[in-house]
Each structure stands twice: as structure tokens, then as C-alpha cells.
Amino acid sequence: MTACENRDYCSFFQINMEHAPSVAMMMRETYCQGRKEACARYLLREKLLKGYALSEEDPAREKLEVFIEGLYPNDIDKVMEIISRLVK
């Protein structure tokens, strides 16, 4: 298990979890410091953004970034469905 390299600047914790610090701490321990591969946000970034090497100007990249920003770390089912549709 390795710590997530995005943990210090992941907007999920900066924006979505201000109101629930104890839940945020639990999620950080689970996903950011433990099992980053189980995090929906991490997985989608790794599989799509890095895997397809979309340029900064590509509108698809911007749409994907917006989608990722709306995900919770435990939204893994959504991510797996997207990836399975692309890999066929």
C-alpha cells in the first residue's frame, strides 16, 4: 500500500469535506494513505487522463476533469462502469 501522490491537493477534501472533518479523516486514512487504487477519483485519473494522454486544450479532458471533481472516493462502481465501456 502506498500513499496517493494527489493527497495534499485533492479538491475533494478541500471543498466537499469541510463540514465533516471526522469523516474526511477516515476517508483520507482509507484512500489517501492506504488504498489509493480503491479511490474512484485516483483510478479515473490514472486510467483515463494518463492512459489517453489528452492534451490540455482537448475539450474531453476538461469534461473529464469536471466529472472527476464530482466523484467521491467511494464512487468506484461509476468508474468501473465507465472504464468497462471504454475497454470493450
pLDDT of 16 reads 65
pLDDT of 40 reads 93
Average pLDDT across the chain, whole number:
81
Per-residue pLDDT of 32-56, as tens digits, reads 888 899 999 998 888 776 666 667 7
- Decide which of 13 and 76 is more confident: 76
Confidence check: pLDDT of 88 > 60: no
- Write out the DSSP string of 1-58: ----TTTTT-HIIIIITTT-HHHHHHHIIIIITT-GGG-HHHHHIIIIIIHHT--TT-
pLDDT of 6 reads 83
**pTM of the predicted model as reported, rounded to 2 decimal places:** 0.77
